[in-house]
Protein backbone atom coordinates (compact mmCIF):
# COMPACT_ATOMS: atom_id res chain seq x y z
CA UNK A 1 0.00 0.00 0.00
CA UNK A 2 2.83 2.40 0.88
CA UNK A 3 4.65 1.72 -2.39
CA UNK A 4 1.48 2.33 -4.41
CA UNK A 5 0.85 5.66 -2.71
CA UNK A 6 4.44 6.75 -3.12
CA UNK A 7 4.47 5.84 -6.82
CA UNK A 8 1.18 7.64 -7.42
CA UNK A 9 2.49 10.76 -5.66
CA UNK A 10 5.69 10.73 -7.71
CA UNK A 11 3.71 10.37 -10.96
CA UNK A 12 1.78 13.54 -10.22
CA UNK A 13 4.97 15.65 -10.56
CA UNK A 14 3.15 18.70 -9.37
CA UNK A 15 5.05 21.63 -7.89
CA UNK A 16 2.73 21.52 -4.88
CA UNK A 17 3.89 18.01 -4.04
CA UNK A 18 7.53 19.02 -4.09
CA UNK A 19 6.78 21.99 -1.86
CA UNK A 20 4.80 19.80 0.52
CA UNK A 21 7.55 17.16 0.80
CA UNK A 22 10.28 19.77 1.33
CA UNK A 23 8.21 21.47 4.06
CA UNK A 24 7.68 18.11 5.71
CA UNK A 25 11.41 17.36 5.62
CA UNK A 26 12.34 20.80 6.98
CA UNK A 27 9.78 20.57 9.77
CA UNK A 28 11.23 17.22 10.81
CA UNK A 29 14.81 18.54 10.83
CA UNK A 30 13.86 21.79 12.56
CA UNK A 31 11.81 19.94 15.21
CA UNK A 32 14.74 17.74 16.14
CA UNK A 33 17.32 20.52 16.39
CA UNK A 34 15.29 23.37 17.88
CA UNK A 35 15.02 21.78 21.33
CA UNK A 36 18.73 22.05 22.02
CA UNK A 37 20.09 25.57 22.44
CA UNK A 38 23.57 26.49 21.19
CA UNK A 39 26.24 25.49 23.68
CA UNK A 40 24.04 22.99 25.54
CA UNK A 41 24.94 19.36 25.90
CA UNK A 42 22.35 16.79 24.84
CA UNK A 43 20.38 15.17 27.67
CA UNK A 44 21.30 11.53 28.30
CA UNK A 45 19.55 9.27 30.81
CA UNK A 46 21.87 7.64 33.36
CA UNK A 47 22.43 4.00 32.46
CA UNK A 48 23.62 2.80 35.87
CA UNK A 49 20.49 3.84 37.75
CA UNK A 50 18.13 2.31 35.20
CA UNK A 51 19.89 -1.02 34.97
CA UNK A 52 18.68 -2.89 38.09
CA UNK A 53 15.53 -3.46 40.04
CA UNK A 54 15.59 -2.63 43.73
CA UNK A 55 14.87 -5.71 45.85
CA UNK A 56 13.87 -5.14 49.46
CA UNK A 57 12.35 -6.84 52.47
CA UNK A 58 9.78 -5.54 54.96
CA UNK A 59 10.26 -6.64 58.57
CA UNK A 60 7.62 -5.96 61.23
CA UNK A 61 9.07 -4.73 64.54
CA UNK A 62 5.85 -4.42 66.54
CA UNK A 63 2.59 -2.54 66.30
CA UNK A 64 2.99 0.17 63.66
CA UNK A 65 6.77 -0.28 63.40
CA UNK A 66 8.65 -1.82 60.51
CA UNK A 67 12.03 -1.82 58.81
CA UNK A 68 12.86 -1.67 55.13
CA UNK A 69 16.01 -3.58 54.27
CA UNK A 70 17.57 -3.51 50.81
CA UNK A 71 18.97 -6.83 49.64
CA UNK A 72 21.98 -5.24 47.93
CA UNK A 73 23.86 -1.98 48.57
CA UNK A 74 23.02 0.74 46.04
CA UNK A 75 25.30 3.44 44.68
CA UNK A 76 22.42 5.61 43.47
CA UNK A 77 19.70 7.08 45.74
CA UNK A 78 16.64 4.88 46.25
CA UNK A 79 13.16 6.38 46.64
CA UNK A 80 10.85 5.11 49.36
CA UNK A 81 7.16 6.03 49.33
CA UNK A 82 4.70 4.86 51.98
CA UNK A 83 0.96 5.05 51.31
CA UNK A 84 -2.09 4.28 53.43
CA UNK A 85 -4.84 1.91 52.27
CA UNK A 86 -6.69 4.80 50.57
CA UNK A 87 -3.66 5.59 48.41
CA UNK A 88 -2.70 8.79 50.22
CA UNK A 89 1.05 9.41 50.36
CA UNK A 90 2.08 9.39 54.03
CA UNK A 91 5.82 9.83 53.67
CA UNK A 92 8.36 10.10 50.86
CA UNK A 93 11.98 9.38 51.71
CA UNK A 94 15.29 8.81 49.96
CA UNK A 95 17.76 6.11 50.99
CA UNK A 96 21.31 7.02 49.97
CA UNK A 97 24.45 4.93 50.03
CA UNK A 98 25.54 6.77 53.21
CA UNK A 99 22.37 5.65 55.04
CA UNK A 100 23.21 1.98 54.58
CA UNK A 101 20.72 -0.69 53.61
CA UNK A 102 18.23 -0.37 56.49
CA UNK A 103 15.59 2.25 57.23
CA UNK A 104 13.18 2.14 60.21
CA UNK A 105 9.71 3.66 60.41
CA UNK A 106 7.35 4.12 63.36
CA UNK A 107 3.64 4.65 62.70
CA UNK A 108 2.47 3.33 66.07
CA UNK A 109 0.43 6.47 66.73
CA UNK A 110 -1.49 6.33 63.46
CA UNK A 111 -4.91 4.87 62.79
CA UNK A 112 -3.95 3.23 59.51
CA UNK A 113 -4.28 -0.56 59.44
CA UNK A 114 -2.35 -1.30 56.23
CA UNK A 115 0.64 0.37 54.62
CA UNK A 116 1.73 0.06 51.00
CA UNK A 117 5.48 0.53 50.57
CA UNK A 118 6.98 1.40 47.18
CA UNK A 119 10.76 1.25 46.80
CA UNK A 120 12.57 1.97 43.56
CA UNK A 121 14.60 4.15 41.28
CA UNK A 122 13.66 6.14 38.17
CA UNK A 123 12.84 3.03 36.13
CA UNK A 124 11.76 0.21 38.43
CA UNK A 125 9.47 0.24 41.46
CA UNK A 126 8.67 -2.72 43.70
CA UNK A 127 5.62 -2.57 45.92
CA UNK A 128 4.78 -4.56 49.04
CA UNK A 129 2.27 -4.14 51.84
CA UNK A 130 2.47 -4.59 55.59
CA UNK A 131 -0.20 -4.58 58.31
CA UNK A 132 -0.18 -2.15 61.22
CA UNK A 133 -0.40 -5.05 63.69
CA UNK A 134 1.87 -8.04 63.02
CA UNK A 135 0.15 -11.44 62.69
CA UNK A 136 -0.79 -12.89 66.07
CA UNK A 137 -0.67 -9.53 67.88
CA UNK A 138 -3.60 -7.35 68.75
CA UNK A 139 -3.50 -3.71 69.68
CA UNK A 140 -5.10 -3.43 73.10
CA UNK A 141 -6.82 -0.19 74.04
CA UNK A 142 -6.24 0.45 77.71
CA UNK A 143 -8.49 2.86 79.57
- Please tell me the pTM assigned to this model: 0.58
Mean pLDDT value of segment 15-19 = 61
Residue 63 has pLDDT above 60, yes or no: yes
> Which pairs count as long-range contacts for 48-51, CB under 8 Å and 24+ apart, including other chains?
48/75, 48/76, 49/76, 49/121, 49/122, 49/123, 50/121, 50/122, 50/123, 50/124
pLDDT tens column, 72-110: 888 888 899 999 988 999 999 998 888 888 899 998 888
Q: What's residue 61's pLDDT?
A: 87
Residue 44 domain flag: no
Q: What's residue 119's pLDDT?
A: 92
Residue 39 domain flag: no
Same-domain status, 26 and 92: no
Residue 4 has pLDDT above 60, yes or no: no
Domain containing residue 11: 2-33
Same-domain status, 12 and 78: no
Amino acid sequence: MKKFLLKSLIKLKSPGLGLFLSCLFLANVWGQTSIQKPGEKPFVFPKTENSQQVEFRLMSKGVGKFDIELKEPRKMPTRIKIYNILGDLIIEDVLTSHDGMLKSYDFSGSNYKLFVVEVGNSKYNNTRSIYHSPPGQKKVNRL
